[in-house]
A and B are shown apart, each in its own frame.
Chain A
Amino acid sequence: MRTSEISALPVVTLAGDDIAQVKDIAFSGNGGAVSGFTLAGRGRFAGPLKTGLLWTKVVGLGADAVIVADESALDPVDDVRRAAESADGSGASGGNVLGDQVLTDGGTDLGKVVDVIVQFDNGSSACDVVGYEIEASESLAAKASNASNGTRLLVPLPDTLAVSGEHLMVPASAEGFVSGDLAGFGAAVSAFRAQLDGKP
Chain B
Amino acid sequence: MQWSQLKKHKVVSTATADKVGKVDGFLLDPATRSVVGLTLKKTDSGSVVRWSDLVAVGADAVTVPDAAVVLEPDEAQGALADKRGSVLKKLVLDDDGNALGTVKDIDLDPETGALRELLLDTRTVSGDRLLGVGSYAVVVRAD
Q: Which residues of A contact B (CB under 8 A)?
A: 9-10, 12-18, 59-67, 122
Contact = CB atoms under 8 A, between A and B. Distances in A.
A163 to B, nearest CB: 28
Given A16-B131, A62-B96, A67-B93, 9 more contacts: A12-B134, A16-B30, A16-B132, A16-B139, A17-B134, A63-B98, A65-B99, A122-B96, A122-B142
B70 interface: no
Contacts of A10: 136
Given A60-B142, A65-B137, A67-B139, A14 B97 contact: no
Nearest to B87: A16
B96 A14 contact: no
Contacts of A63: 97-99
B96 A12 contact: no
Interface in B119-138: 131-138
A59 B132 contact: no
B135 A18 contact: yes
B138 A16 contact: yes
B95 A14 contact: yes
B105 interface: no
Contacts, number: 77
* Nearest 8 Cβ contacts at the A-B interface: A16-B134, A62-B97, A18-B136, A17-B134, A15-B132, A62-B98, A64-B99, A60-B96
A176 B135 CA distance: 48
B66 to A, nearest CB: 36
Contact of A14 (B84, B90, B99, B132): B132
Contacts of B131: 14-16
A17 B30 CA distance: 13
A67 B95 contact: yes
Contacts of B24: none
A66 to B, nearest CB: 6
Contact of B97 (A16, A17, A60): A60
Contacts of A14: 95, 131-132, 139
Nearest to B131: A14
A67 B135 CA distance: 14
A176 to B, nearest CB: 33
25 contacts: A12-B97, A12-B137, A13-B134, A13-B139, A14-B95, A14-B139, A15-B132, A15-B134, A16-B30, A16-B132, A16-B137, A16-B139, A17-B134, A17-B135, A17-B136, A18-B135, A18-B136, A60-B94, A61-B96, A62-B94, A62-B98, A62-B99, A64-B97, A122-B95, A122-B96
